[in-house]
């Protein structure tokens, strides 16, 4: 039976106002880092979030744990609307979600022993008995594959992989429900990546975790994720079960990412011609009209520059936003999140 939805973003938008160029009369540019995002993640599920650099993956991940400002839309967590949660209520909710970063060094205090790094969240969230904290630190070090003796050491005494294990231990020690892992493998070599991925798998089962797993590396996440969500310039362009996306991607952008993903077979990889997406990714402060991908799409049509396609549902949770794959002609327009609904009684 399907698990209940744990985290749900509804029409979520995140914007950043950039500094106005000196002497310019125009208003300060606004980056729509995340636009109109619908994404629900079920308890126990792993959703991989992929897309090129700057497309808004980290911002969406941060918004889903309430550490990026939500401009519009709503966020529900375990049935509760947490879009506007503040103060103590937000602090308390935060113990239920955590983030893991690419560079474990940035999330570890180099001057603190591992014990203190791991004990801190326990103290912050009210666990103060010495015996309880010691027990919990030993238990969590063991769970991430490190000896409890390591508690007395400092981060610089560890390898990159071990440091990432410590960062994961810190994220898991409060037994959160939801973890956003932001490129947690990128700084590691391939064999270490596989070990850390295995650890994520084990911890998911052991602590009933739910993951939003952000990655550039499509090939790596397919075997690990239940579903894959593909973002382009702040928007969701395709989502579906990992197996459906691998075998039957619909959106030209997903297809291009798949074609660019390295093959696990070194011989195939050595002779493979990598198709390069033409042109640079446009600035999210000045996105193209219509389908945001039309400036780089190999099959763009006239309608693509005018109408931003809505998602088409292909069944089984597989959806893509593209005029070329919408049955019976171009897709209707994606709803504009900035449109103010008119009051019908006015
Ligand atoms: N605090 C901020 N202030 C202004 N702009 C921001 C801020 N954070 C992110 N942005 C902009 O929002 C857009 C999305 O950034 P984000 O970091 O979410 O992308 P990403 O997909 O995670 O990229 P990468 O793969 O490089 O990590 C980018 O244009 C970025 O410059
Ligand atoms: S809508 Fe048009 S431009 Fe956008 S991906 Fe589809 S074919 Fe390409
Ligand atoms: Mg990022």
Angle at 109 between CA 103 and CA 115, to 5 degrees: 110
Check residue 289 and report its DSSP letter: S
The alpha carbon of 222 and the centre of ligand 2 are apart by a number of angstroms equal to: 24
Considering only CA atoms, which residue is closest to atom 6 of ligand 1?
A: 16
- Sign of the torsion angle spanned by Cα atoms 216, 222, 224, 227: positive
Pocket residues for ligand 2 (CB within 6 Å)? 251-252, 291, 293-294, 297, 299-301, 304, 309, 322-324
State the pLDDT at residue 276: 63
Q: What gap in Å lies between CA 243 and CA 8, rounded to an integer?
A: 22
Helices 130-143 and 114-124: crossing angle, nearest 10°? 120
Angle at 202 between CA 174 and CA 90, to 5 degrees: 25
Q: Which residues 6+ apart lie within 8 Å of 7 measured at CB?
A: 39, 40, 41, 64, 75, 76, 77, 97, 178, 210, 212
SS3 134: helix
Q: Which atom of ligand 1 is least distant from the CA of 183?
A: 27
Considering only CA atoms, which residue is closest to atom 3 of ligand 2?
A: 294
The alpha carbon of 183 and the centre of ligand 3 are apart by a number of angstroms equal to: 7
| C-beta neighbour count of 165 within 10 angstroms | 22
Q: What gap in Å lies between CA 333 and CA 311, rounded to an integer?
A: 9
Structure tokens at 108: 């570890």
State the pLDDT at residue 344: 45
SS3 302: helix
Q: What gap in Å lies between CA 231 and CA 284, rounded to an integer?
A: 12
Residue 53 in contact with ligand 1 by CB distance below 6 A: yes
The closest alpha carbon to 73, from 15, 17, 6, 9, belongs to: 9
| C-beta neighbour count of 39 within 10 angstroms | 21
Ion ligand 3: residues, CB within 5 A, are 58
Q: Which atom of ligand 1 is least distant from the CA of 61?
A: 18
State the pLDDT at residue 342: 45
Ligand nearest to the CA of 59: 1
Residue 16 in contact with ligand 1 by CB distance below 6 A: yes
**Pure H helices in 38-158:** 57-63, 87-94, 104-107, 114-124, 130-143
Residue 34 in contact with ligand 1 by CB distance below 6 A: no
Ligand nearest to the CA of 231: 1
State the pLDDT at residue 339: 58
Structure tokens at 130: 């010495």
Residue 56 in contact with ligand 1 by CB distance below 6 A: yes
Q: What are phi and psi of 227, to 5 degrees?
A: -130, 155
Check residue 127 and report its DSSP letter: -
Long-range contacts of 94-97 (CB under 8 A, 24+ apart): 94/65, 94/66, 95/121, 95/125, 95/174, 95/176, 96/176, 96/177, 96/178, 97/7, 97/64, 97/65, 97/66, 97/176, 97/177, 97/178, 97/179, 97/180
State the pLDDT at residue 323: 98
Q: Which atom of ligand 1 is least distant from the CA of 55?
A: 21
Residue 31 in contact with ligand 1 by CB distance below 6 A: yes
Ligand nearest to the CA of 330: 2
The alpha carbon of 346 and the centre of ligand 1 are apart by a number of angstroms equal to: 39
Beta bridge pairs of residue 212: 47, 180
| C-beta neighbour count of 161 within 10 angstroms | 18
SS3 3: coil
Which residues of the chain, if any, have pLDDT below 50? 340-346
Considering only CA atoms, which residue is closest to atom 27 of ligand 1?
A: 53
The alpha carbon of 64 and the centre of ligand 1 are apart by a number of angstroms equal to: 15
| Ligand 2 pocket test target in 237, 306, 323, 326 with most atoms within 8 Å of CB | 323
Measured distance between the N- and C-terminal CA atoms of the chain, rounded to whole angstroms: 46
| Kind plus residue range of the DSSP H or E element containing 35 | strand 30-42
The pTM of this model reads: 0.93
């Amino acid at each position: 039976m399907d698990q209940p939805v744990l985290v749900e973003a509804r029409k979520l938008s995140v914007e950043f106002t950039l500094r106005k160029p000196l002497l310019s009369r125009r208003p300060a540019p606004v980056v729509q880092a995340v636009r109109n995002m619908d994404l629900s993640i079920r308890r126990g599920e792993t959703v991989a979030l992929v897309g090129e650099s700057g497309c808004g993956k980290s911002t969406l991940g941060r918004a889903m744990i309430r550490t990026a400002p939500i401009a519009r839309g709503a966020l529900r967590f375990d049935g509760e609307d947490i879009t506007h949660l503040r103060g103590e209520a937000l602090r308390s909710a935060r113990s239920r979600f955590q983030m893991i970063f690419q560079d474990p060094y940035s999330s570890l205090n180099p001057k603190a022993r591992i014990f203190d790094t791991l004990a801190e969240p326990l103290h912050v969230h009210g666990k103060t008995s010495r015996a309880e904290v010691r027990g919990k630190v030993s238990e969590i070090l063991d769970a991430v594959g490190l000896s409890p003796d390591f508690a007395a050491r400092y981060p610089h005494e560890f390898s990159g992989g071990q440091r990432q294990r410590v960062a994961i231990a810190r994220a898991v020690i409060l037994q959160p429900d939801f973890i956003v892992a932001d490129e947690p493998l990128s700084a590691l070599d391939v064999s270490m990546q596989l070990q850390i991925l295995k650890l994520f798998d084990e911890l998911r089962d052991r602590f009933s975790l739910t993951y939003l797993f952000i990655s550039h590396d499509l090939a790596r996440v397919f075997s690990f994720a239940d579903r894959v969500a593909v973002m382009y310039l702040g928007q969701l362009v395709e989502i579906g079960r990992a197996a459906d996306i691998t075998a039957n991607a619909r959106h030209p952008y997903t297809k291009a990412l798949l074609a660019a993903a390295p093959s696990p077979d070194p011989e195939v990889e050595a002779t493979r011609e990598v198709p390069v997406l033409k042109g640079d990714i446009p600035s999210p402060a000045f996105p193209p009209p219509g389908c945001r991908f039309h400036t780089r799409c190999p099959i763009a049509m006239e309608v693509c520059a005018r109408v931003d396609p809505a998602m088409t549902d292909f069944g089984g949770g597989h959806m893509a936003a593209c005029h070329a794959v919408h049955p019976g002609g171009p897709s209707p327009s994606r709803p504009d999140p900035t449109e103010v609904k008119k009051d019908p009684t006015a």
